Amino acid sequence: PDSLPLAVRLSATDWLEGGWTIEDSVELARCLKDEGVDLIDCSSSAIHPAAKPPVGAGYQVPLAEQVRHGAGIATAAVGMITQPMQADEIVRNGRADVVLLGKEMLRDPYWPLHAARKLHQAEAAAVPPQYLRAF
């Protein structure tokens, strides 16, 4: 419905020579935007043994940045985003509109609370009274 955002998770590259490229993803994102998609969640795949993704901190952020600027659509960045300042800088610098956490939330389900405190936004991270003894 028009009252809800529509997001699509896209494997922005397959990291294979002659395979699916970031340019292909930018073009697809333009088409999806024209069809009413509001946000592209930019991931990538390494589904073939020959794929060599440059795995490291924030390694998929450039994909979100390229889709965001190339297609003029909001993007989500993913992939080894573990530090609050890292996430904050991605959004503040216009590399993506939102950061999504996966494995980091498995490691620390209170990551958003810890991040708010590290970013001096503790008032935005109020702990529900029933949980206060845990902190």
Segment 25-36, tens digit of pLDDT:
999 999 999 999
Model pLDDT, residue 72 = 98
Residues 36 and 78: their CA atoms lie apart, in Å, by 22
Structural domain includes residue 131: no
| Domain around 69 | 7-100
The structural domain count of the chain equals 1
Reading the block at residue 69, the tokens are 């600027």
Q: Which of these ranges, 15-24, 32-41, 88-97, 125-134, has the smallest mean pLDDT?
A: 125-134
Structural domain includes residue 75: yes
The DSSP H or E segment spanning 30 is helix 22-34
CA–centroid distance for 25 within its chain: 15
Q: What is the pLDDT of residues 5-53, one digit of tens each?
A: 999 999 999 999 999 999 999 999 999 999 999 999 999 977 889 998 9
Structural domain includes residue 13: yes
